[in-house]
Amino acid sequence: MPILYEHPLSPYAQKVKIALGEKGVAFETRMPDILGGSDREQFVALNPRLEVPTLVDDDHAIFDSTIILEYIEERWPEPALLPKAPAERARARMIEEVCDTYYEAINWGIMEIRAFQRATGEAAEQLLARAHEQTLGVQTWLGSHLGSAPFFGGTRFGWADCAVAPLVHASATFGNGPTAGTGLAAWLARIAARPTVATTFEAAAASMQGFEMLPGLVTSGHFKREYRDHRLEWMLRSGGVQVVLDAMRDRNIRFTHEFS
């Protein structure tokens, strides 16, 4: 049985779990302790970047959520998640890319402020206001690609739906959900009722218990969130330069794991 190393809150892991579920593939989930637990070195051997998700299938370890989706599509081709037409396949991949490298960073930034309290007072309000504006912008863009179709792939749930679902759902939990009455709002209600999506969202919600301890863990340096590429960019261009400088000074953030 394939093993998926994940964290239920990771949108990258969520899209992979939804895809596996849509394919009808049974799989086991594990949460590695990548910050210093006894299984850290074992996980490094599977994924030298120390990131989730990582899929292990028949002794093959695959990391990076997009590459995992491609593997899933080739390993279990039916039902297909990608459309047949080349242009539509490219569109699905472009939507995924925007979600992975732009939308995810917005939600991640909101969590940095709300859950991890990287900023407070006026600084926090300004960052959250920027995140709200950016969310509206990307949701408008997604809505234009959805149009009047039931799914991003047209009449069938597919690749782009897997990628978009975790991000729009997270926005809704932050109070930044799609505007009522829009196609994107109707889409979210529609896909949230799918068993594969509902199960994934339920696991994410359950994993948030105990989050009130996070600010203290961050301050102590015992928990370090990864500031990689697009996330670091979001902080810098959204007004969080001081957040990054303070975190680097206090050594309570981390960057992509270096190969050794």
Question: Residue 209 corresponds to which tokens in the numbers above?
Answer: 């218990």
Q: What is the pLDDT of residue 39?
A: 74
Segments in the chain below pLDDT 50: none
CA torsion, ordered 100, 181, 149, 156, to nearest 10 deg:
60
DSSP 175-235: T-PPPTTSHHHHHHHHHHTSHHHHHHHHHHHHTTTTGGGHHHHHHHTS--EE--HHHHHHH
Q: Taking the CA atoms of the chain, what radius of gyration do you get in angstroms?
A: 18
Unique residue bearing structure tokens 């093959």: 60
Q: What is the pLDDT of residue 34?
A: 67
Q: Which CATH architecture does the domain made up of 3-75 adopt?
A: 3-Layer(aba) Sandwich (3.40)
DSSP 107-125: HHHHHHHHTT-SS-HHHHH
For residues 61 and 47, the answer to whether their CB atoms sit within 8 Å is: yes
Q: What is the pLDDT of residue 35?
A: 59
- Report domain extents, the chain: 3-75
Q: What is the pLDDT of residue 154?
A: 95
Task: Sort strands 225-226 and 54-57 into parallel, antiparallel or unpaired.
Answer: unpaired
Task: Sort strands 28-30 and 3-5 into parallel, antiparallel or unpaired.
Answer: parallel
Q: What is the pLDDT of residue 260?
A: 80
Rounded to whole angstroms, the Cα distance separating 27 from 3 reads: 6
pTM: 0.95
Which DSSP symbol is given to 253?
E
